[in-house]
Amino acid sequence: MSVDVEAFLSDWQELSRFGAVEGTDGVDRQAATAADAEQRRWFADLLQRHGFAVVRDEIGNQFGLLELVPGAPYVLTGSHLDSQPTAGRFDGAYGVLASAHACIRAAEELRRAPEHARRNLAIVNWFNEEGSRFKPSMMGSGVFTGKLPIEAALETTDTAGITVRGALDAIGERGDALTAPIGSYLEIHVQQGRSMEEDGLKIGLVHATWGAHKYEFRVRGAQAHSGSTLMEDRRDALLAASRLVVAARELVDEFEPGILHTAVGELHVYPNSPVVVASEARLLMDLRSPDADVLEAASARLREVIERTERSDRVEIEVIAEHAWGQNPYAEDGVAFAAEVAAALGLPHGRVMTIAGHDSTNMKDDVPTIMLFVPSVAGISHSVEEFTSDEDLIDGLRVMTALVGRMARGEFA
């Protein structure tokens, strides 16, 4: 099936204006904010104009449903529209819009030849994939697949104390549990890495995820005067937290280059005053590797650092939350099916792993799942400098359109 390049690029420019960061090409549209509400309304209107029924489930996942064969399973495809603060406009959003246009095109074909339809079509905009406003990340698909209890997710608060329930209700985006049967899942995303660009690939066939272990630590010390308190009397929570930040980076050097990625991306200090020794610090750390043994060894070394820091700085370090997943393969038949389609379109393609987490990470454990990448320029992501060319966006859309059409005809699953 051909794709409507002009219509896609026009919609892409329209979508990119929501939450636009002035003076950049980036966006800020975190989950259930005003910018997210605005783009959700626009997306719902787009789907409804093409005959899709728009519904929201209990955690705010937004679905466009088109029934072609009553009672048949749905081919579900999508990604997420929410973003990190001051982030790129491609991450997640491209996958949602490409899914919509692929399904719209497939629906047009199958309406003309309804005898070929074997599956129904569904598009999803997953809630809070980024985890920037509410933790953990991939919240919407986590609830949808039963990996995260709905009540726990709804009572999660942001830094201002607003619950997920309250935030969704405020923008009218909380609904009821979805009852449509899902037969398969398809997702496309910008790579968020530079290997495809370096290898000359146009389509990345994701065959496995890196494993990850994310921690939220609370460090407790004692508040004191930053000038008059003797150094030996201090129990400095920020000092101890800083040791963990440095330890995360130093862990990388203990392993083979490229096999372990670490980061501390969030740090909160109390009371955060220039004349007070901090009594509490909270930080989020993640460790990522394709090798389960490396992750375990890194986690063990981290525990040693924690114990040593508690003794030397006379603080308490508590793990108040953890979120982890293992290195996990995608179904080989899905990888092969996508490779066949990319080859038929004459697009250079190859197998890649995903280091970042995606909603397909959750979905692949429940239904047959295909995950695709298009290249990211220089691998930049979670930044207003993130970029993927129109040519690569359209090549990804061509593959998605062909896959959705064939899946709706009963191929793959």
What confidence score (pLDDT) does residue 328 get? Answer: 86
Do residue 76 and residue 87 come from a single domain?
Answer: yes
What confidence score (pLDDT) does residue 365 get? Answer: 93
The one-digit pLDDT tens for each residue of the chain (413 residues) are 789 999 999 999 999 999 999 999 999 999 999 999 999 999 999 999 999 999 999 999 999 999 999 999 999 999 999 999 999 999 999 999 999 999 999 999 999 999 999 999 999 999 999 999 999 999 999 999 999 999 999 999 999 999 999 999 999 999 999 999 999 999 999 999 999 999 999 999 999 999 999 999 999 999 999 999 999 999 999 999 999 999 999 999 999 999 999 999 999 999 999 999 999 999 999 999 999 999 999 999 999 999 999 999 999 999 999 988 888 899 999 999 999 999 999 999 999 999 998 999 999 999 999 999 999 999 999 999 999 999 999 999 999 999 999 999 999 97
Answer yes or no: is 387 within a domain.
Answer: yes
Answer yes or no: is 267 within a domain.
Answer: yes
Rounded to an integer, what distance in angstroms lies between the CA atom of residue 330 and that of residue 205? 10
Answer yes or no: is 413 within a domain.
Answer: no
Answer yes or no: is 256 within a domain.
Answer: yes
Q: Which two tokens stand for residue 74?
A: 């749905």
Question: How many domains, in total, are found in the chain?
Answer: 2
Describe the crossing of helices 390-408 and 5-16 by its angle, rounded to 10 degrees: 110
Residue whose structure tokens are 């309406």: 111
What confidence score (pLDDT) does residue 268 get? Answer: 97
Rounded to an integer, what distance in angstroms lies between the CA atom of residue 386 and that of residue 113? 40
The pTM of this model reads 0.92
What confidence score (pLDDT) does residue 108 get? Answer: 96
Q: Which two tokens stand for residue 188?
A: 């496309």
Number of H helices, E strands in the chain: 12, 15
What confidence score (pLDDT) does residue 126 get? Answer: 98
Do residue 189 and residue 335 come from a single domain?
Answer: yes
Do residue 235 and residue 361 come from a single domain?
Answer: no
Question: Are 294 and 259 spatial neighbours (Cβ–Cβ below 8 Å)?
Answer: yes
What confidence score (pLDDT) does residue 1 get? Answer: 73
Do residue 205 and residue 222 come from a single domain?
Answer: no
Answer yes or no: is 365 within a domain.
Answer: yes
What confidence score (pLDDT) does residue 320 get? Answer: 95
Do residue 134 and residue 47 come from a single domain?
Answer: yes
Residue ending a domain, among 293, 325, 357, is: 325
Check which CATH number belongs to the domain holding 298 and give it. 3.30.70.360
Residue whose structure tokens are 């904010």: 33
Do residue 319 and residue 346 come from a single domain?
Answer: no
Query: Within 161-291, where are the H helices?
Result: 164-170, 195-199, 237-252
Do residue 113 and residue 101 come from a single domain?
Answer: yes
Do residue 219 and residue 364 come from a single domain?
Answer: no
Q: Which domain holds residue 244?
A: 211-325
Residue ending a domain, among 325, 348, 382, is: 325
Answer yes or no: is 65 within a domain.
Answer: yes
What confidence score (pLDDT) does residue 248 get? Answer: 98
Contacts of 307 (CB under 8 A, 6+ apart): none
Answer yes or no: is 246 within a domain.
Answer: yes
Residue ending a domain, among 301, 325, 349, is: 325
What confidence score (pLDDT) does residue 413 get? Answer: 78
Do residue 293 and residue 372 come from a single domain?
Answer: no
Do residue 159 and residue 83 come from a single domain?
Answer: yes
Check which CATH number belongs to the domain holding 113 and give it. 3.40.630.10
CB atoms within 10 A of CB 276: 17
CA dihedral 376, 381, 384, 389 (to 10 degrees): 10
Do residue 229 and residue 197 come from a single domain?
Answer: no
What confidence score (pLDDT) does residue 325 get? Answer: 82
Question: Are 98 and 404 spatial neighbours (Cβ–Cβ below 8 Å)?
Answer: no
Do residue 238 and residue 121 come from a single domain?
Answer: no
Answer yes or no: is 75 within a domain.
Answer: yes
